[in-house]
Structure 1
């Protein structure tokens, strides 16, 4: 896997890219049954401004935790964690404006 930064319409995103040849050349490993390798994307439910971040990359989070506060139309909205896990990627920062369905963070 390689990590790249891309710019789309003036916004910067970090993406991981895996080449098909890298995947094929890796030997098959047995998966540990206790390790959950799924990820959950947290998207902005509306456009607004992130006024408070309660997490950082590597933070352990539990379902129902308040991850951040998003201000929209002068109302503060708590963004709750949908699953238990750890913050793998954080794609936003405090005082940043977000658009509807913008990827804000990845939990794994």
Structure 2
């Protein structure tokens, strides 16, 4: 645990920060991906022709049935989301190619989090 002193509008505050998870990778890559997801959420599309698949509920990703670059048809199972001890199949809303995956197995997601994109 680290303690930092932060000044906001001339007033000093002490903040304790605990490292909860180490993340590997380049921060720039993470920031770029966050920007892509943020823009995708706003438009429900990526680069004008991508379909965003969002989590229909809060839960945990049990398994991912597709990989980046896979061709999928409308109705294909993309991943399994566990919510309230029930396994829910997340189906493809369109036919296309999986252009990006924003989750991994074991990750917890919130309702409306972006899971993947189909172009």
TM-score, normalised by the number of residues in structure 2:
0.63
Kindly name which structure, 1 or 2, has the bigger radius of gyration based on alpha carbons. 2
Counterpart of 1:76 (choices 79, 87, 101) is 87
TM-aligned CA deviation for residue 13 of structure 1: 3.3
TM-aligned CA deviation for residue 14 of structure 1: 6.3
- Segments of 4+ in structure 1 off by > 6 A? none
TM-score, normalised by the number of residues in structure 1:
0.69
Any unmatched runs of 5+ in structure 1? 17-36
Distance in 1 (alpha carbons) for counterparts of 2:35 and 2:61: 19
Equivalent residues, number = 82
TM-aligned CA deviation for residue 6 of structure 1: 2.1
Distance in 2 (alpha carbons) for counterparts of 1:99 and 1:83: 22
The structure richer in strand per residue is 1
TM-aligned CA deviation for residue 15 of structure 1: 2.1
SS in 2 for 1:6: helix
> Does 2:31 correspond to 1:6?
yes
Any unmatched runs of 5+ in structure 2? 1-27, 38-47
Partner of residue 62, structure 2: 51
TM-aligned CA deviation for residue 4 of structure 1: 4.5
The structure richer in helix per residue is 2
Distance in 2 (alpha carbons) for counterparts of 1:86 and 1:77: 22
Counterpart of 2:53 (choices 16, 28, 42) is 42
Distance in 2 (alpha carbons) for counterparts of 1:58 and 1:98: 23
